[in-house]
């Protein structure tokens, strides 16, 4: 046996012994018996999927996302409309010391109505992050956005709606948003914004009830509306106290899901 044939015979023997370890071409598309499967990736590109303490494993797998922000990225949750991606996306901004979980029970009502939904975790003001979120939603097929915010998220949403943005803001919903929060001045913003604004608050939620009334009085948008509900709950809690159908009706009028 020549040296070359001996080397070929040895190689064949070794490959046979190691067959269960997947001996073969590293560039092939097939998988050997011992090949390790790649871990499942989230459909939205987030790995590992986050539950935020409120999402089910399935929700986290399908909707946990990283959204570009003014500095790095923000963890968030995205879901398209039940009928497709959704031309109009609703961006939710949570209240101080809150999280996107405060809106989770209400997402299905919006997606059933034909809207895509996006909520992100923002420790401070959402104002500087919202344009990045809008640009990201544009890549998902959105052509318009609605901003819904609870407390400081409401203030930030009103301010962001009055500023230039990558996508048209067609409606704003402020749930107990104060007139001012840190550097965000909603009182100033509503005096120039032409975006339809819905101000919702509960009557015993002081001083936010007065803020909502003052903001509504100062607003110049033709589509402005104010609703004061009984009780003293704050922020996203209003959606469970009767505000949800009113918000959906307001959006149907000023920001229909069909775009």
For the stretch 156-213, pLDDT in tens is 999 999 999 999 999 999 999 999 999 999 999 999 999 999 999 999 999 999 999 9
Asked if residues 178 and 189 have their Cβ atoms less than 8 Å apart, the reply is no
Mean local confidence (pLDDT), 133-155: 98
Average pLDDT of the segment spanning 123-137: 97
Find the CATH number of the domain harbouring 136: 3.40.50.1820
User: Which of 225, 178, 231 shows the shortest CA–CA distance to 203?
Assistant: 231
Q: Is 134 domain-assigned?
A: yes
Residues 64 and 190 in one domain: yes
Total-model pTM = 0.82
Q: Is residue 181 part of a domain?
A: yes
* DSSP track, 138-161: HHTT--EEEEEEETHHHHHHHHHH
Residue 1 domain flag: yes
Number of domains in the chain: 2
229 and 125 within one domain: yes
Mean of the per-residue pLDDT values of the chain: 86
pLDDT value of residue 19:
35
Residue 44 lies in a domain: no
Same domain, 138 and 206: yes
Is 164 within 8 Å of 109 (Cβ atoms)?
no
Same domain? 25 vs 145: no
In a domain, 52, yes or no: no
Same-domain status, 99 and 199: yes
Instruction: Look at residue 45 and tell me whether its pLDDT is greater than 60.
Output: no
- Does some domain include residue 162? yes
pLDDT category, 16, cuts 50, 70, 90?
very low
> What mean pLDDT comes out for the span 124-128?
96
Whether 80 and 170 share a structural domain: yes
pLDDT for 13 beyond 70: no
CA distance 237 to 214: 21
Domain extent, residue 21, equals 1-37
Domain assignment present for 43: no
What was the pLDDT predicted at 259? 85
């Amino acid at each position: 046996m020549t040296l070359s044939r001996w080397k070929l015979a040895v190689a064949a023997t070794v490959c046979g012994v190691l067959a269960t370890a997947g001996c073969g071409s590293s560039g092939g598309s097939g998988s050997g018996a011992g090949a390790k499967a790649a871990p499942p990736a989230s459909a939205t590109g987030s790995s590992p999927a986050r539950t935020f303490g409120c999402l089910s494993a399935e929700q986290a797998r399908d909707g946990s996302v990283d959204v570009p922000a003014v500095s790095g990225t923000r963890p968030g949750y995205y879901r398209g409309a039940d009928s497709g991606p959704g031309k109009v996306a609703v961006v939710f901004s949570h209240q101080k010391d809150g999280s996107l979980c405060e809106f989770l029970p209400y997402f299905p009502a919006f997606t059933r109505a034909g809207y895509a939904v996006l909520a992100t975790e923002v420790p401070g003001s959402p104002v500087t992050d919202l344009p990045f979120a809008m640009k990201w939603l544009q890549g998902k097929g959105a052509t318009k956005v609605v901003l819904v915010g609870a407390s400081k998220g409401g203030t930030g949403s009103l301010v962001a709606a009055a500023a230039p943005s990558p996508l048209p803001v067609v409606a704003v919903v402020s749930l107990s948003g104060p007139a001012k929060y840190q550097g965000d001045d909603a009182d100033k913003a509503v005096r120039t914004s032409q975006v339809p604004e819905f101000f919702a608050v509960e009557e015993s939620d002081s001083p936010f009830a007065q803020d909502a009334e003052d903001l509504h009085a100062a607003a110049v948008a033709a589509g402005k509306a104010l609703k004061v509900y009984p009780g003293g709950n704050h922020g996203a809690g209003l959606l469970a106290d009767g505000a949800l159908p009113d918000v959906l009706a307001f959006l149907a009028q000023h920001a229909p899901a069909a775009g």
